[in-house]
Amino acid sequence: MRTFAAPFGYAVTPLALAVHLTFAGLLGSVVAMPAPAHAAEQAQTHYDIPAGPLADVLNRFAQQAGVPLAFEPQRLADLQSAGLHGQYDIDSGFATLLRGSGYSARMGSNGYVLVRQSDSLELSATTVIGANEEHPNEYVAGYVAKRNMSATKTDTPITETPQSISVVTNDEIRDRQAETLSQALSYTPGLTSSPTNFNRTADRFRIRGFEVESATGGSLRDGLRLQNNSYDGIQEPYGLERVEVIRGAASVLYGQLSPGGMINGVSKRPTETPFHELNLHVGSHDRKQLSADFSGPLAGSDTLSYRLTLLSRNSDTQQDHINDDRFYIAPALTWRPNEDTSLTLLSFYQKTDTRFPAPLPYQLVKGVGDGAFKIGRHDFIGEPDYDDMNGEMSTLGYEFQHHFTENFTLNHKLRYYETDVKWSYLQIQPSPAAINFSANTGTLLRRYSDRHERARTWASDTNIESKWQLGNVEHTMLVGFDGYDTSYDSHNFRGNAPSLDLTHYNYGQPVVVNKDRSQDRGSQLDTLQKGVYFQDQIKFNDKWILVLGGRHDWADQQQTAHSNDAKASQSDEATTYRAGLVYLADNGLAPYISYSESFFPVSVAEVTGQSFAPTEGKQYEVGVRYQPKDSNLLLSAAIYELTQTNVLTLDSNDDPRQTGEVRSRGLELEARADVTQALSVIASYTYTDARTTKSAIATEVDQRTDDTPYHQAALWSSYDLVNWGMPQLTVGLGVRYMGTTQASLMESAMPAYTLFDAMARYQIDDHWDLTVNASNLTDKRYTQCGFSTCHYGDERQVVSTVSYRW
């Protein structure tokens, strides 16, 4: 008869084990071993178990988790494991270690037993307890998140969400060593952005052909709007637990937004189990960076836990005279006096020192323009002694939650945010005559832009979530109020600057800035938005989910020009709705259909003295997701039509007219899978047809949206070489394809290009690992253009990282 080896040194027959596990709880049996916690009571623990034979790794995990495990070692003799690194509860730890092995760990009253997934004896003798579900604000292992809060403001499975959403996990950000939010989202469908040399200064994207950024309300942190100015600064990826991208109209829960959607960064939060790491990065362009992340309970306290995240970087870039220096610190504290109440303080301070990469007219760009003189991809057109961009960004806020009962919860968030950016740079004079003169003579006509911008925002969101049931119909009702009080103070001076000789770049010429008040192009702009919203998630028979929502907003703008104290104001109201229906099939399929709306007020700064209605967005979407039960696989597909109306355009006399319309139609496919214990894959394909359908200028009609290709695809895969006898080594390879794009005022389309990325990580021991990342591995030369100006694409960059965790 077979016997089972257990890490606690006992052996039992299969029959005896089955009988014991089945009846011990009923008979009140007492055994000399610790009893495993019920799944609902399990806490997550950080594990650093090195790769090796699966039997040995399981033994170490069971010992560290403090649970008994019975299994037959001979069955696992040929199986290897990549080990376990990160935060897991007991069930999810076993599930991760055994994924793809053909075995599972089943828990009975007094222990775990390892069984073949088709073995009826053990299944009949144990009680199956699934792994704890993830929390959408916490760490999730691998590339597949299953829940989110951005799309509904409630903890909802992605398969029950009737709108396109992509979640980039912390493991994905770490594996590719993303420096910017743009790099973190580079494998996400339906999204485009500028190269890194621009995205160091602003988080600006296009989603489904529409601009999504701070100025359109689309940049959020922890569910609250973060910035109100494009160049306030960028979100540091190392400070994020995940990034959630909502594609399409989404104003019902968040107020004024671009119809393209929103990007929500989720901050790293305190953990209940200790976690510590240090990382040293060195790489291309003399890059030197140190980062650290510490978390756990405060010493001597049962109710307080902390998190401290830090980063310091000193680096040059591929462009001459432009640096990329940053300091980031994010303290966080959670107070949890009981199971029903929690208060989390979240804050960060970020200081950036860089220079602005001024856009280049396409006529002066290599491979694009046809002028006699060109500006190279490394060339700097400013003045090293004048150009500068220094910014400080700081936030302080909290999140409070209290469960009055199991079905009635209060959620409240509040955050204060401020920035101070001094921003001076030289750019090419934009008139066609000046551009042609520069291209033909090699004498670059320049002008200065001297700016000092300060912004502050109070943001708050309060809602009540109630759950109740009538018959076989379950309701999750959300009623809330949110508000944003923002102030943006900008001083902006422009004027002619000394020209630059493109044959030898004669730097050192003095730049004299005229700061006469009459020349100040800036203003003080105060905005107040208030909104009330409701949502009901209705589940019928555990199969059908109907989501209904509505919102009403009030938006007020007050502007005072600094040059002459001229004042302008505007008040708007808007009502938006959403509706969606999801069907949950037994085989894991979840088809859905939805309708959603968005609005965004026309800025009073654009049309001083005139009043226009907010732009409006309407979206119809049909999609399907596939996620088999207990799998780490999520397949998504969606087709949509998204239309923005009331778009402001200029007629032939340069007078504003609110007659424009932009329409986007497309298909999006996404796959995220931890295929086996060793293999993880991300794949996406996007087809987007975004174009102007109405305009006061006839030549604009039917023009494609800038920087939006018809076709876009990406594939990333990481593989642990455990089955090749090298369990310490993990490799990754990615490919990104960008189809042709059309820039405004340019006759020829920009050509398609393909980029390759790679990663290799070696686990030295339980604490140390070494990672090497390369982006644009083949050093492909490409250029991105929009609105007749261009930026050179990112060259190959290699970064090596040494990490120590304990």
What is the residue extent of each domain of the chain? Answer: 4-124, 275-805
Q: What are residue 753's DSSP bridge partners?
A: 738
Range among 42-51, 618-627, 649-658 with highest mean pLDDT value: 618-627
What's residue 725's pLDDT?
Answer: 82
- How does pLDDT run across 175-198, given as a tens digit for each residue? 999 999 999 999 999 999 989 888
Average pLDDT over residues 771-800: 96
Query: Average pLDDT for residues 292-301, to the nearest whole number?
Result: 94
Tell me the mean pLDDT in the region 131-141.
79
Q: What is the pLDDT of residues 378-407, one digit of tens each?
A: 999 999 999 999 999 999 999 999 999 999
pLDDT of amino acid 120: 35
Residue 4 has pLDDT above 80, yes or no: no
Q: Is the pLDDT of residue 5 over 60?
A: no
At 703, list the tokens.
């023009």
Q: What is the mean pLDDT of residues 396-421?
A: 97
Residue 318 in tokens: 């591929």
Average pLDDT over residues 702-708: 93
Range 261-290 average pLDDT = 96
Whole-angstrom Cα distance, residue 128 to residue 107? 6
Question: Would you say residue 684 has pLDDT above 70?
Answer: yes
Please name the CATH architecture into which domain 4-124 falls: 3-Layer(bab) Sandwich (3.55)
Q: What is the pLDDT of residue 189?
A: 97
Q: Residue 13: pLDDT above 70?
A: no
Q: What is the pLDDT of residue 744?
A: 87
Spatial separation of the C-alpha atoms in residues 218 and 199, rounded to whole Å: 15
- Domain 275-805, classified CATH 2.40.170.20, yes or no: yes
Band of the pLDDT at 108, cuts 50, 70, 90? low
Q: How confident is the model at residue 219 (pLDDT cuts 50, 70, 90)?
A: very high
Return the pLDDT at 7. Answer: 33
| pLDDT of amino acid 378 | 96
At residue 43 the predicted structure's pLDDT band, cuts being 50, 70 and 90, is low
Tell me: pLDDT of 32 over 50: no
Q: Is the pLDDT of residue 118 over 60?
A: no
Q: Is 516 helix (H, G, I), strand (E, B) or coil?
A: coil
- Asked whether the predicted pLDDT for residue 6 surpasses 50, the reply is no
Of the candidates 166, 205, 165, 160, the one whose C-alpha atom is nearest the C-alpha of residue 182 is: 205
Bridge partner list, 168: 243
pLDDT in tens, 655-677: 778 889 999 999 999 999 999 88
Query: Is residue 20 very low, low, confident or very high in pLDDT (cuts 50, 70, 90)?
Result: very low
Torsion angle of alpha carbons 785, 791, 793, 798, nearest 10°?
Answer: -160
Torsion 202-386-453-259 (CA) sign: negative
Greatest Cα-to-Cα distance within the chain, rounded to the nearest angstrom: 95
Burial class, 462, CB count within 10 angstroms (exposed 0-12 / middle 13-18 / buried 19+): middle
Asked whether 635 and 164 are in contact (CB, 8 A), the reply is: no
Confidence of residue 104 (pLDDT cuts 50, 70, 90): confident
Q: CB of 183 within 8 A of CB of 174?
A: no
Distance of CA 267 to the CA centre of its chain: 10
Closest CA to 744 of 712, 781, 702: 702
Render pLDDT for 498-552 as a digit per residue (tens, 0 to 9): 999 999 999 999 999 999 999 999 999 999 999 999 999 999 999 999 999 999 9
**What is residue 131's predicted lDDT score, i.e. its pLDDT?**
41
pLDDT at 102 over 90: no
Give the least confident one: 60-64, 370-374, 695-699.
60-64
**Which H/E stretch holds residue 293?**
strand 287-297
Least confident of 95-104, 253-262, 407-416: 95-104
Of all residues in the chain, the percent with pLDDT exceeding 70 is: 91
Q: What pLDDT is attached to residue 610?
A: 67
Check residues 54 and 38 and name the one with the higher pLDDT: 54
The confidence score (pLDDT) of residue 650 equals 73
pLDDT at site 305: 97
Task: Name the residue with higher pLDDT: 605 or 616.
Answer: 616
Q: Output 63 or 468, whichever has higher pLDDT.
A: 468
Task: Give the span between the Cα atoms of 561 and 453, in whole angstroms.
Answer: 14
Q: Which has the closest alpha carbon to 230: 202, 258, 199?
A: 202
Instruction: Please count the other Cβ atoms lying within 10 Å of the Cβ belonging to residue 362.
Output: 24
Residue 40 above 70 pLDDT? no
pLDDT of residue 50: 81
Q: Is pLDDT at 17 greater than 70 in this prediction?
A: no
pLDDT bucket at 586, cuts 50 / 70 / 90: very high
| pLDDT band with cut points at 50, 70 and 90 for residue 604 | confident
Inter-axis angle of helices 54-65 and 90-98, to 10 degrees? 180
Higher pLDDT, 493 or 745: 493
Does residue 88 carry a pLDDT above 80? yes
Whether pLDDT at 71 is above 80: no
